[in-house]
Structure 1
Amino acid sequence: MTPVDRVGDRAAFRPGGHGLLWVVARREMAVKLRDRAFIVSGVVMLVLIAAALVVPALLAGGPDRVAVLDAPTAAVVEATGADAVSTPSEADATEAVRSGDVDAAVLPDSSSPTGLRVVALESVSSVLVLGVSEASPVELLAPADADPLVSVFAPLAFGILFMTTSLLFGLSIAQSVVEEKQTRVVEILVAAVPVRTLLAGKVLGAAILAIAQTAVLAAAALGGLSLTGRADALPAELLPSLAAAVGWYVPFFVAGFLLLAGLWAVAGALVSRIEDLGSTTTPVQLLVMLPFFATVFVNTPGPALTTLSFVPFSAPVAMPVRMVLEGGVPVWQPVVALALLVGCAAAVVLVAARLYEGSLLRTGGTTSVGQAWRRR
């Protein structure tokens, strides 16, 4: 028995083990970066982000219609790019706002430093407010309890990001493993690299690329918001909770990805042909998609969303969504949820390592979980 065949001994941690780990990770990243499908999928995701930012602006239906009482106010409103609609009285202007005939009204206000105030129904364009004057008071006739756009967008954004990234890089891990088995390359690899180091290197390489892609997509989204001016449309009170959610999403994403990455590797090691991969990856795909659908359908604050934010498989999506929608989640809750997720990920990785070792060198068909666990 060679050192690399021994399971659980010190061979996997001998001097130079970290170097081997990085060699495997670099190899996985190099193979992935040369993969045309990976490059195309990345470009497609960037195009989808751009479309999500540009298309709504194109379909917005033209400039805002703003009710005014006199010509000087109309000139101020039109300078902001809005269309001024003349109304005979304040009551008529307010009624036009309530009925939806206009988007807002700019009315006289002797108590305002500028002599004007902005009246709207649920929300008002920040461009209009800044154009009239930063000092002008804003009156909402029927303020919404929560921004409906945020209630829909937050679960979709975090859910789609986690689901697509986990599926893309998880399937890559599984395909890499089964391709190495099918071509018998794995027999050469395990002769030089401990099995656990091989598994860790694959997961590390995929994790680095996943985090890098997530950062690129996030930067593209933020840059697009700034370029299109849509960032100004976000309510100011939402920004702190949104920043907290994005900040917490990073460690939740890393732990959640590690939780699933080991399972993806096992799914690839259990089969000997690419054609059989679907039979072992389906359960893992469900573990990726269920949190997404759960947070999409349970997108309002309440006991259901709170529970999902503590369940390890749904916490990477549900906890950031809660932070955006509720805005005042106590710090101890994401800390506890992350601790539960990390603990679960560690347990799953240990189990996955054993199954990976017990199935990697088996060929000639699909290996059962029981056979892989017994390693015989």
Structure 2
Amino acid sequence: MNDSSTKAVSTGQGVWLVAERELSTKLRSKAYLVSTAILLLIALAGVIWAGFASSNSSDTPIASTNATASALSEVDGYDVTEVADRDEATALVESGKVDAAVIDDASAVTGLVIIADKEAPQSLLMALSATPEVELLNPDAAGGPLRYLLGIGFGLVFMMSAMMFGMPVASSVVEEKQTRVVEILLSSIPARVLLAGKVVGNTILAISQILLLATVGSIGLMVTGQTGLLAGLGGPVIWFAVFFLFGFILLAAMFAAAGSMVSRQEDAGTTLTPVMYLTMIPYFLVIFFGDNPVVMTVLSYVPFSAPVGMPIRVFFNEAEWWEPLASLVIMLVACAVVILIGAKIYENSLLKMGARVKFREALRG
């Protein structure tokens, strides 16, 4: 009889029961529902505003040789100045009279070459039927505003989602220890199953919110006619979602482990601070060093910043096809290592009440 009762709940069932409890608790919270609705409205308003601002802005000045002028005559939003040759086009770009120049070049694969100063306009690249070669006069110059905005967008979503769903994981662990509910839970399921359920439940919520934001953003881009930008963002957004999934699992395990080391909410700050820094640092690094190719390359391989760094490099065609895959492998290895360490800390600290459990003590058990 005892054997049948202990085997009644399998590991998978135990994980899902805990995850379901996390989901139901969160979805019944008015604060969560209201904050999610506000976040979606802000995202939609930002996309619509950007669309209206771009539609009301003046035409972008570009230069073009006579042979390519016909290809640009049907494209709206550009003030085309015809030039005789490459030298005249380069001079106009260097003087700042035009943002870019499109010239014909028989040696190029597509027959077209874009000459720009700091960065080729993304809208111009998307407007042409075939992406031409790009020649930058100042390739080491600072990135344009689009790079800055993408850094803010990806970084802010990652940081806010990690904090919004990671902090409750730690808070619930501390609350269960403080009220001694954890002793009842551990009499029914193992500690690692309890940890896995918490991580799975909050990961589902976090990914659902990312998918909602992507859906709302896509609708906003289509409503405002920004289909070119939508097509360009498709790949980077998919990579962001994939990296975010494993990045959040990594952070959620760390939040749970940090929460298990204390017995009161008042003491949680000391153990949660390092995890919060790891959540916020990628956002600020991308903002301050987003135009530095060396720093961005490094950030795209570091597990805590890869969800922000790699999608930006993919969007600007700065990453080879294999780089996102290599970075994802590093992320998976780091995720497995952190989960194993976090589970050990969680398991060894969960029933220790009173003073804060030291890190070495939690590892030793």
Q: TM-score range by the shorter chain?
A: 0.7 to 0.9
Stretch deviating more after TM superposition (173-182 or 45-54): 45-54
- In the alignment, the residues of structure 2 paired with residue 64 and residue 197 of structure 1 have an alpha-carbon distance, to the nearest angstrom, of 59
Matched, 1:218 2:209: no
1:251 alignment counterpart = 242
Matched, 1:294 2:285: yes
Matched, 1:188 2:179: no
2:16 alignment counterpart = 22
Kept in 1: contact 2:51–2:225 (CA 8 A): no
CA-to-aligned-CA distance 1:35-60 (integer Å, 9 cap, x gap): 22211221221122123123345556
The CA deviation at 1:352 is: 0.7
1:171-320 to 2 correspondences below 5 Å = 171-232=167-228, 239=232, 242-300=233-291, 302-320=293-311
1:362 alignment counterpart = 352
Kept in 1: contact 2:15–2:193 (CA 8 A): yes
Structure 2: give runs of 5+ residues left out of the alignment. 62-74, 101-115
| Closer/same/farther in 2, CA of residues 232 and 330 from structure 1, 3 Å limit | closer
Kept in 2: contact 1:298–1:304 (CA 8 A): yes
TM-score (norm 1): 0.72
| Closer/same/farther in 2, CA of residues 144 and 64 from structure 1, 3 Å limit | farther
Kept in 2: contact 1:170–1:264 (CA 8 A): yes
Q: Secondary structure at the match of 1:224?
A: helix
CA-to-aligned-CA distance 1:203-228 (integer Å, 9 cap, x gap): 00011111111100111111111112
Higher Rg:
1
Matched, 1:159 2:149: no
Kept in 2: contact 1:150–1:325 (CA 8 A): no
Kept in 2: contact 1:174–1:268 (CA 8 A): yes
- In the alignment, the residues of structure 2 paired with residue 260 and residue 62 of structure 1 have an alpha-carbon distance, to the nearest angstrom, of 42
Matched, 1:337 2:327: yes
- In the alignment, the residues of structure 2 paired with residue 363 and residue 289 of structure 1 have an alpha-carbon distance, to the nearest angstrom, of 30
The CA deviation at 1:123 is: 5.6
CA-to-aligned-CA distance 1:160-201 (integer Å, 9 cap, x gap): 121111111100101111111122211111111111100000
Structure 1: give runs of 5+ residues left out of the alignment. 4-10, 67-79, 105-120, 135-139
Kept in 2: contact 1:54–1:228 (CA 8 A): yes
Kept in 1: contact 2:210–2:241 (CA 8 A): no
| Closer/same/farther in 2, CA of residues 171 and 101 from structure 1, 3 Å limit | same
| Closer/same/farther in 2, CA of residues 233 and 213 from structure 1, 3 Å limit | closer
Equivalent residue pairs, number: 325
| Closer/same/farther in 2, CA of residues 100 and 298 from structure 1, 3 Å limit | closer
- In the alignment, the residues of structure 2 paired with residue 249 and residue 124 of structure 1 have an alpha-carbon distance, to the nearest angstrom, of 20
| Closer/same/farther in 2, CA of residues 353 and 103 from structure 1, 3 Å limit | closer
1:170 alignment counterpart = 166
Name the amino acid aligned to 2:325.
Answer: V
The CA deviation at 1:243 is: 2.9
- In the alignment, the residues of structure 2 paired with residue 289 and residue 310 of structure 1 have an alpha-carbon distance, to the nearest angstrom, of 17
Name the amino acid aligned to 1:212.
Answer: S
- In the alignment, the residues of structure 1 paired with residue 271 and residue 216 of structure 2 have an alpha-carbon distance, to the nearest angstrom, of 35
The CA deviation at 1:293 is: 1.3
1:325 alignment counterpart = 316
- In the alignment, the residues of structure 2 paired with residue 144 and residue 44 of structure 1 have an alpha-carbon distance, to the nearest angstrom, of 41
Matched, 1:350 2:340: yes
Kept in 1: contact 2:348–2:363 (CA 8 A): yes
Q: Secondary structure at the match of 2:356?
A: coil
Name the amino acid aligned to 2:332.
Answer: V
- In the alignment, the residues of structure 2 paired with residue 339 and residue 44 of structure 1 have an alpha-carbon distance, to the nearest angstrom, of 35
Matched, 1:32 2:23: no
The CA deviation at 1:65 is: 9.7
Name the amino acid aligned to 1:337.
Answer: S
Coordinate RMSD, CA, aligned? 4.0
| Closer/same/farther in 2, CA of residues 65 and 154 from structure 1, 3 Å limit | closer
| Closer/same/farther in 2, CA of residues 297 and 358 from structure 1, 3 Å limit | same
- In the alignment, the residues of structure 1 paired with residue 83 and residue 299 of structure 2 have an alpha-carbon distance, to the nearest angstrom, of 48
Q: Secondary structure at the match of 1:221?
A: helix
CA-to-aligned-CA distance 1:55-102 (integer Å, 9 cap, x gap): 345556567599xxxxxxxxxxxxx999x9xxxx999xx9xx999999
Q: 1:371 aligns with which of 357, 361, 364?
A: 361
